[in-house]
Amino acid sequence: MTTITGLELHDVRFPTSQTLAGSDAMNTAPDYSAAYVVVRTSEPGLAGHGFAFTIGRGNEVQLAAIKVLEPFLAGRDLDEVLGEPGGPSRLGELYRRMVSDSPLHWLGPSCGVMHMATGAVLNACWDLAARRAGQPLWLLLSSFTPAQIVDLVDFRYLSDALSPADALGILEAAEPGRASRVSSLLLEGYPAYSTAPGWLGYSDAQMAALCASAVAEGFTQVKLKVGASLDDDKRRLAIARQAVGDDVAIAIDANQVWDVPAAIGWVRALAPFRPAWIEEPTAPDDILGMATIRAAVAPVRVAAGEHVSNRVLFKQLLQAGGIDVMQIDACRVAGVNENIANLLLAARFGVPVCPHAGGVGLCEAVQHLAMFDYAAVSGAMDGRRIEWVDHLHEHFTDPAVVSAGRYRAPRAPGASAQMLPGSLAEYAYPSGPAWRG
Amino acid sequence: MTTITGLELHDVRFPTSQTLAGSDAMNTAPDYSAAYVVVRTSEPGLAGHGFAFTIGRGNEVQLAAIKVLEPFLAGRDLDEVLGEPGGPSRLGELYRRMVSDSPLHWLGPSCGVMHMATGAVLNACWDLAARRAGQPLWLLLSSFTPAQIVDLVDFRYLSDALSPADALGILEAAEPGRASRVSSLLLEGYPAYSTAPGWLGYSDAQMAALCASAVAEGFTQVKLKVGASLDDDKRRLAIARQAVGDDVAIAIDANQVWDVPAAIGWVRALAPFRPAWIEEPTAPDDILGMATIRAAVAPVRVAAGEHVSNRVLFKQLLQAGGIDVMQIDACRVAGVNENIANLLLAARFGVPVCPHAGGVGLCEAVQHLAMFDYAAVSGAMDGRRIEWVDHLHEHFTDPAVVSAGRYRAPRAPGASAQMLPGSLAEYAYPSGPAWRG
């Protein structure tokens, strides 16, 4: 019998604020960081890796929250937690037990540090399950029956928009084409777009050069940060348009800097530049505000999700007509399980999912969800792209790979979440070599 | 010059799960706890006290989040943080600096552990400011001019519902009667209602006896927990109605157990018992769901707020018509400052505020806000009551006092937030005598 022995925690921080890669109107100097967790087992070499992504200060709070979840796993039989090898997953049960623990729910509710901790631990369990199965996570998920997938979801608070029967219907409708979509993913991957050119801290020349590079590398969409100065935004958008030409889309991202009226005015002023979408025009939990903005700035599309705390808020963004594009994040919500609910909600409302990524490890983690969505949920790829930033991938044992503007399908067992031991040591905060002196 | 020397932290937990006081449909066995913080200064005897309230497990995560905020205060000149004695408060500035710190915002956004930590630290600073001024907090707040109060608020994301000019108008309209309302508070206090009878873990006989006691003590409203079993709820409501008579209101509280359709069915089934309101019929961040429920169960009123994470969600509950009664909590949001925004929003929409209390220290903390609201914001008391549970007050140096069904106005300097040193020691977790063995 294999048992889970406990959680091993690492405070990993990269001094990215030194380069201003990652700078936007809200987040001016982030140090990309991971509250990194390893689920250890009694079987040597069998472990699961997961993390919450933060931007530096407070990463230790995130780790403290992950630590609180250890009693849900430590000492338990591995098969009891994950389900029997080759059988249905039991991680839906673990997920529902963790999110309905009332003292921990009080620390949310279903948001912030405690919720992200749940996500980190669940994602590590999924990494473990996929390693045990010898499959990449997206393929493991795509091997489950519709009923098995439905069992991974917590439908509490969703039933006015998505019932288990609705979910089953969506998954069954997507079943016929699964095998061929899996093949196409293995052969051709999944479309990406590049945020590399658009950080606010970059000069016009640097931004233009990176836009041209992105097009040369095969990307069909780039993204620019906006919202600090309208004049700067107009100038930068004009330069970017010249650099990418007429056929490449340019999305813009305000990172929550505006109130509702300001968002409407600013986005209308940028509409002549034909942005592919405006991302996070205001507070992500301002459902009604997002809906007001979307109605006022059409045909410019509205995107959001990287800071949307849970499936109940996503449900409402869809019900209220607040978003044209749903941007799930692998680490903001309660892991793979809650993101399956988010994918099902998007499918139910016919809204495309373009996952948020970047940071550290977010590309690695979220690619599995987008590919699972294509294979088994929405069955669609049109208008969908995963965000891509070519940054910090060298710290992972199975880094995400983008070529010719597309994510290549991961083939190694697991969820691509494992960092190299050398990176964990080098960037350990505050004692690692990268932070000393 | 007095400086702030640092934060002193205490993990304080009361083993309340042993009695089932505090048990409801979601929270079956809470250990009422405080992540308690003392803002120490270089002046002996001058300190500020604050806390986040939790229900046990994870209280240490809450403390870790409070610790992260220490650099905002440690080593700073006291007058620079609080403002000059007798002058306008500068705590609006501290508040806005803390909530716009981007790495900490990432850990929310504006919700959960990190946001409650901000509230605990700000509330401790307000306790300190009131002690320095030699006034109870509600009186100190009520001594500020409308413009000074407006400066305490963060209007970001509110401007589509409440602008600084709107806020100023509300406060100026309430200015004429301030002095007489302060006098009436000092003389007659503020209405309370009692939740003591209604915990789910109590037997029918115990509940009926406590209902009768509450009426004998002068309460004009009691509250019952519901949502575990419809038959039980009907039986309990009938017993309670018999115990309190026709003239005492009975509110009911489901603590988020229902989905939207279930809430509507259940509340309609209980409507013949004429509940004063249904509290938390579903997830508190389900704005649209709350509005749907409210429309469907009228004339039964809908109340919520103890788990509403921030002013942006409150704004939407009001915009969408999701609540008839706003239940602010002293410790869920970013402290006194964000609650001033919540009070102003309620006044703007003409919705009464009936604060959430109970737990440990919540009665002590929130009474100041309700009294300030009456004195300087809404200027109204009709239909308003502060929740009251006669529980754990003995641990405070300046406990809340309710007599003849009314909170007596606090007169001691500060925010009534200080716990007795003996209680901090006895209930220290896990090393205190209460937890050993």
CA nearest to A233, candidates A280, A190, A200? A200
Whether residue B50 is contained in a domain is answered as yes
Whether residues A113 and A236 share a domain: the answer is no
Supply the mean pLDDT for chain A: 96
- With an 8 Å Cβ cutoff, are A58 and B103 in contact? yes
Whether residues B203 and B297 share a domain: the answer is yes
B115, B156, B320: residue with CB nearest A112: B115
Mutate to test the interface with B, among A113, A199, A257, A313 (most CBs of B within 10 A): A113
Whether residue B431 is contained in a domain is answered as no
What's the pLDDT score for residue A128? Answer: 98
Whether residue A102 is contained in a domain is answered as yes
Active-site hit among A356, A368, A391, A395: A356
Q: Which residues of A touch B283 (CB under 8 A)?
A: 109-110, 156-157, 312
Whether residue A160 is contained in a domain is answered as no
The CATH number of whichever domain residue B96 belongs to comes to 3.30.390.10
The CATH number of whichever domain residue A234 belongs to comes to 3.20.20.120
Q: Which pLDDT tens digit goes with each residue over A302-358? A: 999 999 999 999 999 999 999 999 999 999 999 999 999 999 999 999 999 999 999
Q: Which pLDDT tens digit goes with each residue over A65-78? A: 999 999 999 999 99
Read off the DSSP letter of residue B412: S
How far does the CA of residue A16 sit from the closest CA of chain B (Å)? 13
Whether residues A122 and A194 share a domain: the answer is no
What's the pLDDT score for residue B201? Answer: 84
- Given A135, A151, A170, the domain boundary residue is A135
Whether residues B225 and B276 share a domain: the answer is yes
- Given B136, B160, B195, the domain boundary residue is B136
Whether residues A305 and A245 share a domain: the answer is yes
- With an 8 Å Cβ cutoff, are B30 and A103 in contact? yes
pLDDT at A21 over 70: no
- With an 8 Å Cβ cutoff, are A283 and B110 in contact? yes
What's the pLDDT score for residue A20? Answer: 66
Instruction: For residues A18 and A15, give the distance between their C-alpha atoms in angstroms, rounded to a whole number.
Output: 6
Q: Which pLDDT tens digit goes with each residue over A172-190? A: 999 999 999 999 999 999 9
Whether residue B305 is contained in a domain is answered as yes
Whether residue A436 is contained in a domain is answered as no
Q: Which residues of B touch A110 (CB under 8 A)?
A: 283, 285
Q: Which residues of B touch A101 (CB under 8 A)?
A: 57
Radius of gyration of chain B (CA): 21
Whether residues B12 and B92 share a domain: the answer is yes
Whether residues B132 and B213 share a domain: the answer is no
**Total number of domains constituting chain B:** 2
Whether residues B205 and B342 share a domain: the answer is yes
A285, A292, A312: residue with CB nearest B283: A312
What's the pLDDT score for residue B375? Answer: 98
* Closest residue on chain B to A29 (Cα): B102
What's the pLDDT score for residue B20? Answer: 67
Give the pLDDT band (50/70/90) at residue A22: low
Whether residues A203 and A76 share a domain: the answer is no
How far does the CA of residue B27 sit from the closest CA of chain A (Å)? 5
Read off the DSSP letter of residue B395: G
Catalytic residue status for A391: no
Distance between first and last Cα of chain B: 46
Whether residues A279 and A371 share a domain: the answer is yes
Active-site hit among A49, A225, A393, A395: A225
Whether residues A286 and A193 share a domain: the answer is yes
Burial class of residue B431 (count of CB atoms within 10 Å of its CB; 0-12, 13-18, 19+): exposed
- With an 8 Å Cβ cutoff, are A65 and B285 in contact? no
- With an 8 Å Cβ cutoff, are B113 and A260 in contact? no
Domain that holds residue A248: 178-423
What's the pLDDT score for residue A41? Answer: 98
Whether residue B162 is contained in a domain is answered as no
Mutate to test the interface with A, among B113, B166, B317, B349 (most CBs of A within 10 A): B113
A61, A106, A158: residue with CB nearest B114: A61
Mutate to test the interface with A, among B32, B51, B102 (most CBs of A within 10 A): B102
Q: What pTM, to 2 d.p., does this model score?
A: 0.97
Give the pLDDT band (50/70/90) at residue A198: confident
* Closest residue on chain A to B284 (Cα): A109
**3-class SS string, A268-324:** HHHHHHCCCCEECCCCCCCHHHHHHHHHHHCCCCEEECCCCCCHHHHHHHHHCCCCC
Contacts of B208 (CB under 8 A, 6+ apart): B197, B239, B240, B242, B243
Query: Whose structure tokens read 């702030």?
Result: B4
Given its phi and psi angles, is residue B255 left (phi above 0), alpha (psi -120 to 50 degrees) or beta?
left
Radius of gyration of chain A (CA): 21
- With an 8 Å Cβ cutoff, are B285 and A57 in contact? no
Whether residue A153 is contained in a domain is answered as no
Q: Which residues of B touch A294 (CB under 8 A)?
A: none
Mean pLDDT of successive 10-residue segments in chain B (437 residues)? 97 88 72 97 97 97 98 98 97 97 96 98 98 98 98 98 98 97 98 92 93 97 96 97 96 97 98 97 97 98 98 98 98 98 98 97 98 98 96 97 98 98 98 91
Q: Which pLDDT tens digit goes with each residue over B385-428? A: 999 999 999 999 999 999 999 999 999 999 999 999 999 999 99
- With an 8 Å Cβ cutoff, are B283 and A65 in contact? no
What's the pLDDT score for residue B216? Answer: 97
Catalytic residue status for A225: yes
Whether residues A130 and A213 share a domain: the answer is no
Instruction: For residues B130 and B111, give the distance between their C-alpha atoms in angstroms, rounded to a whole number.
Output: 26
Other beta carbons less than 10 A from residue B1's beta carbon: 8
- Given B136, B168, B200, the domain boundary residue is B136
| Strand B190-198 versus strand B221-225 pairing type | parallel
